[in-house]
Amino acid sequence: MYPEIVPIHRKESLREDGMLFVRTDGILETMVKAPLIIAGLMIVALTMPIQTSFGSTRMLDLTLYSDGSAHISSQLEVDPLDPDYEVSLFGSSIDNFVVVGENGFLLSSEIIDDKAMIDTFGSSSVSIDYDIHDLISKEGRVWTFTLDSPTDYSLLMPTNSIIVGMDALPSNMDLINDQTKLDLSSGLSEINYIFGSTQPPTTQPPTTIPEQPNNDINTIILAGASVAAAISGVVIMIKRKQTKSSSVIQTEVISKSQIKTDTTDTENIFNLRPDMREDDKEIIKFISANGGEALESDLRKKFLQPRTTMWRVVKRLEREGVIEISKKDLQNLVKLKKDLEEEE
């Protein structure tokens, strides 16, 4: 005889009258646990996309300047339940670090080496702007930009720059106000560029000597005599006025030299800083016309710039050794430096 096969999850009993009873304790326990397991899997599936989105980069834009610095502007999605958020920067030489929350308020932050700790204050996204000096190097005339980006980004080249080499092809290239804009993919990118002249070479038009008409000899003699008489009269008048005008000329020369000494020679600044941006030159001219100094608030009103943008411009000019920043009545006073030195 073959042995009887009985499922292990149930127990059977046979009564004397032939009725078969099956205990369903295991089946009921399984039916209760199954909905709980399914609900737990659904919660995990819903929370996974939210967790992975926290800390992701939504936008990354870079702008290169002719002085070897770069401005980074990025927008990040952060966890609003996490009061402190750590951001990895692209270097440790950081200036003008500004963080703005989704409501437009400035957020406090602390930079340690190449990390920034941000107080989110419940924001789900933050905008970060800062200047960095670690991405560009120079050898001779060739400048080299290097970046290992975790995401796709856009790159705005400096004005009057010419790309001479790159190890990665951009997905798109545009020309914006004489500046090349590249859309690059994530990963390591290296771009070599130089600065060239945008002004075409000027050529002098050929000088043409007009043909002299053939005049009669008598007419030439009369004209020559008239010219000689006129020259003699002019010479006599000059000699009479020479003594009187000498003192006036000397006084005028002294006054002009004094004016030139008292005022700032902006052309000298521009010659010593040939790579200075055009908007920075306008600010230098305004400060020079204002007696060599101006409040930062006056610069913002004159050039219609927000506080953070003008502060970056002022700090850039200070790094170039063109201006000095001091405090006056709790405001930033910008002065042109008198002992400007030439860049090496």
- The 8-class DSSP code of residue 339 comes to S
Q: Is the pLDDT of residue 257 over 70?
A: no
CATH code of the domain covering residue 166? 2.60.40.3650
C-beta of residue 140 within 8 angstroms of C-beta of residue 118: no
CA 133 to mean position of chain CA atoms: 11
- The C-alpha atoms of residue 325 and residue 335 are separated, in whole angstroms, by 6
Between 215 and 26, name the one with better pLDDT: 26
Inside any domain, residue 224: no
Same structural domain, 300 and 175:
no
Of 125, 73, 61, 129, the C-alpha closest to 97 is: 129
Q: How far apart are the first and last CA of the chain?
A: 105
* Residue 89 near residue 134 (C-beta atoms within 8 A): no
Q: Is residue 223 part of a domain?
A: no
pLDDT score for 217: 56
Q: Domain holding 335: CATH number?
A: 1.10.10.10
Mean pLDDT of the region 184-207: 72
Query: By mean pLDDT, which of 101-110, 199-208, 254-263, 275-284 is the weakest?
Result: 254-263
Residues 250 and 178 in one domain: no
Is residue 340 domain-resident?
A: yes
Based on the domain organization, do 82 and 143 belong to the same domain? yes
The average pLDDT across 25-34 equals 59
Structure tokens that stand for 330 in this block: 């709790």
Tell me: do 64 and 185 sit in the same domain. Answer: yes
At residue 132 the predicted structure's pLDDT band, cuts being 50, 70 and 90, is very high
pLDDT tier, 263 (very low <50, low <70, confident <90, very high otherwise):
very low
C-beta of residue 131 within 8 angstroms of C-beta of residue 70: yes
On whether both 158 and 89 belong to a single domain, the answer is yes
| Domain shared by 160 and 260, yes or no | no
Do 141 and 251 share a structural domain?
no
Amino acid at 128: I
Count CB atoms within 10 A of the CB of residue 237.
Answer: 10
Show which of 195, 229, 262 is a domain's final residue.
Answer: 195
- What are the residues facing 293 on neighbouring strands? 335
- One domain for residues 187 and 276: no
Q: Does residue 327 sit within a domain? A: yes
Q: Report strand pairing: 94-101 vs 125-132.
A: antiparallel
- Lowest mean pLDDT of 193-202, 258-267, 272-281, name the range: 258-267
Same domain, 289 and 174: no
The domain tally of the chain equals 2
Residue 84 falls inside a structural domain: yes
Instruction: Say whether 332 sits in a helix, a strand or coil.
Output: strand
Give the residue from 145, 171, 195 where a domain finishes. 195
Query: Does 251 lie in the same domain as 189?
Result: no
pLDDT at 343 over 80: no
- Over range 28-34, report the average pLDDT: 60
Residues of the domain holding 277: 237-344
